[in-house]
Amino acid sequence: SQELEQSPQSLIVQEGKNLTINCTSSKTLYGLYWYKQKYGEGLIFLMMLQKGGEEKSHEKITAKLDEKKQQSSLHITASQPSHAGIYLCGADARGGKLIFGQGTELSVKP
Amino acid sequence: GAGVSQSPSNKVTEKGKDVELRCDPISGHTALYWYRQRLGQGLEFLIYFQGNSAPDKSGLPSDRFSAERTGESVSTLTIQRTQQEDSAVYLCASSPWGATDTQYFGPGTRLTVL
């Protein structure tokens, strides 16, 4: 079965700093989703990547899917306290359901 | 427009009791999913409904777990004879067509089994 590994598991950065979160799959990715979760809340959809080499940006968040489609990275530029939360990568495991990484908890110090 | 809603937001129950969790998907979405998130862990897939097709129940952890969906609307996840290990946040998601569509998540129901 396919597994997703996220790194790091947790991250503390100073406001204004850049950061990167990685998501590595044990199998080829056919659809890779990035979600953000605030404590006690549901998941907020950020971006979806499907094609090898694809890159998408929204505000200060950029996500990339590598050419081999087995790894994705999420990069935040000039982090702000509003970026704090748990970032989850999810993969289309075929048949509609998603499998998820264990999450990366981001804290941004003002 | 309205997103996915779930109720209750919190549920505390005693071991051995049955619980029902409700999910109202985004109107018009044909696919509905249930996931479970244990403390400090990622999400685990439980069950997937797609239109009138037979649901994919491959993620249900035991026969104490069941789910129903009325047409393409409300879904209910039922846990019978709850155990302490059932304590988790139960998240519901819906998508327009299923398969490779983006899934939109509700706020979750936090279940605590004492």
CB atoms under 10 Å from CB of B93, counted, come to: 28
| CATH label of the domain that carries residue B95 | 2.60.40.10
Position A69 pLDDT exceeds 90: no
**Contact criterion met (CB below 8 Å) for B80 and B13:** no
Q: What number is the average pLDDT over the span B98-113?
A: 87
Position A84 pLDDT exceeds 80: yes
Return the pLDDT at A40: 66
> How many residues does this entry show for chain A?
110
The tally of domains found in chain A comes to: 1
Q: What number is the average pLDDT over the span A28-36?
A: 90
The residue that leads in pLDDT, B70 or B80, is: B80
Position B1 pLDDT exceeds 60: no
Q: What number is the average pLDDT over the span A17-45?
A: 89
Helix (H) or strand (E) holding A90: strand A85-92
Cβ-defined contact of B105 to A45 (cutoff 8 Å): yes
- At B19-40, the pLDDT tens digits run 999 999 999 899 999 999 988 7
Q: What percent of chain A has pLDDT over 90?
A: 70
Return the pLDDT at A29: 86
**Contact criterion met (CB below 8 Å) for B90 and B34:** yes
Helix (H, G, I), strand (E, B) or coil at B86: helix
| CATH label of the domain that carries residue A26 | 2.60.40.10
Handedness of CA A83, A89, A95, A97 (dihedral sign): negative
Residues of A in contact with B6 (CB under 8 A): 42
Position B8 pLDDT exceeds 90: yes
Closest chain A C-alpha to B31 CA, distance in angstroms: 9
**What is the domain extent for residue A63?**
4-109
Q: What number is the average pLDDT over the span B71-88?
A: 94
- Who contacts A72 (Cβ-Cβ below 8 Å, separation ≥6)? A22, A23, A29, A32, A34, A49, A63, A64, A65, A66, A89
User: What backbone torsions phi and psi does residue B34 show, to the nearest 5 degrees?
Assistant: -120, 135
The tally of domains found in chain B comes to: 1
Q: Please report the number of interchain residue pairs, chain A to chain B, with beta-carbon separation below 8 angstroms.
A: 63
Residue B90 binned pLDDT confidence (cut-offs 50, 70, 90):
very high
CA distance B33 to B25: 9
The residue that leads in pLDDT, A93 or B83, is: B83
**What is the domain extent for residue B72?**
5-113
Whose CA is closest to A98, among A45, A21, A38?
A: A45
Residues of A in contact with B45 (CB under 8 A): 93, 97-99
The overall average pLDDT reported for chain A is: 91
User: What backbone torsions phi and psi does residue A89 show, to the nearest 5 degrees?
Assistant: -100, 140
